[in-house]
Structure 1
Amino acid sequence: MARKKGRDISGWLVVDKPAGMTSTSVVNKVRWALDARKAGHAGTLDPDATGVLAVALGEATKTVPFVTDALKCYRFAVRLGAATTTDDAEGAVIESSDRRPTDDEIGAALAQFRGEIMQVPPQFSAVKVEGERAYDLARAGEEMELAARPLWVESLEIVARPDADTVELEMVCGKGGYVRSIARDLGRALGCFGHVAWLRREWSGPFEAADGVTIERIDALAKSPELDALLLPLEVGLAELPELKATAEGAARLRNGNPGMVLASDVDWGEEAWASYEGRPVAVGTYKSGELHPSRVFNL
């Protein structure tokens, strides 16, 4: 098997994704600019969405699930009065209404979208239907019955009402949320229809848009030490997990995929954690009786 070209470089680059670019294109750009062998991202953003896209490189790709599972914050505008085929501004209008709800009506309706809710993904989404992506079937003109999925919504609030046709919202939610579905379902609940006009991910787990690097800056610093210097360490992606200190012997065992001894801590038996040795991450796993049982080992 041919080896992938590129450097064995590990860490995170937080990108402030621009509108009009796919998440995959951002990852490819970062991988090229850093000449990295391996790269991936922690949570897809729609092409027209902006904001945090955390790109993992090398061994940091093993920490991606811990970022995708973390809470995320979205700020977005709902255009009231029209439903579209895509639940955003790119789609064709399929239903419309002259009704415009008051701020109080919108505020009251938001209550049903907080906490543990069931959400049906948009027709144009990456959900698989009998092995095919829903957006491919939707583009072919097929209409599907997509199953509702659970979503935890920590908070959902009005942040601005620029005009009668638009309300700006901020939502903090868990993994797998579709902002377009929130806009669609809120519009229906208000009896006026609605779709996403624009969307920005403000933060995702430990990563914030304010710290994001623009595509223009990535292009300008490509293949340079200055771009390398913007990488965050692998362990930033483990911010949601407790850290354990491995012993020298424990670190050696963990690196070989075996349970390794860690120093005493307040981590509970059976809790997921990560272990470090001399300041470097060694493994992620489950803590049991003074040892970490690894599920992922870092080759650093």
Structure 2
Amino acid sequence: MARKRKGRDISGWLVVDKPAGISSTQVVGKVRWALDAQKAGHAGTLDPEATGVLAIALGEATKTVPYVTDAMKAYRFTVRLGEATNTDDTEGEVIARSDLRPEDDEIKEALHRFVGDIQQVPPQFSAVKIDGERAYKRARDGEAMEIAARPLFVEELVLVDRPDADHVTLEMICGKGGYVRSIARDLGNALGCYGHVRELRRIWSGPFEADDGVTLEQLDELGQTPEIDAFLRPLEEGLADLPELTCTAEAAARLRNGNPGMVIASDVEYGDECWASYQGRAVAVGQYKAGELHPSRVFKQA
């Protein structure tokens, strides 16, 4: 007999405005404690020193994590010009310096190179796997690695502030898998002056915004009290980027059992990935085919 999980069987999303100095995994643990939740996971890691939106899925909402992870995201970050570090942020050692400081117009012109479909090499200190081992573990041992470039779609990258000659603040909207530290490093190299990330904040991720997030202080104050549940957001918010189809009670029962069910659809085409709802609650995600949804994931909400 399987062991019963400890905690409450609750489902939904909790959006945290993560502060600097704590890992994403630690935030997930704190959320699980605060809501006494059986199951939790985040939709996209933030570096420990980064701040901003960290969306935590609970219970059945963990099945929607891939749709938030794949969604567009926005970052505001400050680049320190004139220095390169081995981690591409302030946590590392300075490995190169330059006295060159480009003008604003030069920076704006260089930013065009990083918009659209680009190829990006992840930082040496990153979680990508090299021969089955995390790159950061090998980098800590002093190993220099050849990391293959990866595709990234950047919708927008703009200069929003120039606090002083040594710093520029940028905002970027990009797809899944973007490394802001790589953008800072590559921009500095393109400008001939080096660069690394000094501050980084994720402004929004898919449907979730940092300004709507719960703080760690609120989690500590309200954790394991009835008041914390007021911050829980519906599972369905994680499906915001997919078309919604509606169904009857009979179709919902079929879908929950993993069988195709009839749906009411408009503006969707054969083979589109969609989600079906009954009385406003998600029943399943799957492919739309000739009036039916063929489920790939089903939700069992109380």
TM normalised by structure 1 equals 0.99
Mapped partners of 2:224, 2:97: distance in 1: 50
Deviation, structure 1 residue 225 = 1.4
Q: Identify the residue that residue 239 of structure 2 maps to in structure 1.
A: 238
Could you tell me which residue of structure 2 aligns to residue 105 of structure 1?
A: 106
Counterparts of 1:238 and 1:224, CA distance in 2: 28
Q: Who is 1:20 aligned against?
A: 21
Matched with 2:227 is 226
Specify the code of the residue in structure 1 equivalent to 2:236: E
Q: Please, what TM-score do these two structures have when normalized by structure 2? A: 0.98
* CA deviation profile, 1:84-119 (whole Å, cap 9, x unmatched): 010001100000000000000000000000000000
Is 1:30 aligned to residue 40 of structure 2? no
- 2:284 corresponds to: 283
- Residue 229 of structure 1 aligns to a residue whose secondary structure is helix
Moved over 3 A (4+): none
Shift of 1:265: 2.1
Match of 1:123 in 2: 124
- Residues 197-236 of structure 1: matches in 2 within 5 Å? 197-236=198-237
Superposition deviation, residue 2 in structure 1: 2.4
Post-superposition shift, 1:192?
A: 0.3
Q: Does 1:158 align with 2:133?
A: no
Partner in structure 2 of residue 252 of structure 1: 253
Alignment of 1:134-153 (within 5 A): 134-153=135-154
Residue of structure 1 in register with 2:196 after alignment = 195
Instruction: For residue 177 of structure 1, give the secondary structure of its aligned residue in structure 2.
Output: coil
Other structure's SS at 2:231 match: coil
For 1:232 and 1:177, the matched residues in 2 are separated by 26
RMSD between aligned alpha carbons? 0.7
Give the equivalent residue in structure 2 for 1:80: 81
Identity rate of aligned residues, in percent?
Answer: 74
* 1:4 Cα offset (Å): 2.1
Deviations 1:220-270 (A, max 9, x none): 001111111110000000000110001222111100001111124221111
CA distance in 1, matches of 2:90, 2:46: 15
Change (3 A) 1:264 1:162: closer
Give me the whole-angstrom Cα distance separating, in 1, the residues matched to 2:4 and 2:181: 40
Counterpart residue identity of residue 34, structure 2: A
Deviation at 1:26, TM superposition (A): 0.2
* Letter in structure 1 aligned against 2:9: D
Write out per-residue CA displacement over residues 129-179 of structure 1, whole angstroms, 9 at most, x where no aligned residue: 111100111111111100000000000000000000000000000000000
Offset, 1:75: 0.1
2:168 matched residue in structure 1: 167
Distance 1:31 1:264 in 2: 37
Consecutive unaligned residues of structure 2, counting only runs of 5 or more, are: none
Matched residue SS, 1:189: helix
User: Which letter maps to 1:178?
Assistant: Y
Instruction: Tell me how far apart the structure 2 counterparts of residues 65 and 84 of structure 1 sit (CA, whole Å).
Output: 32
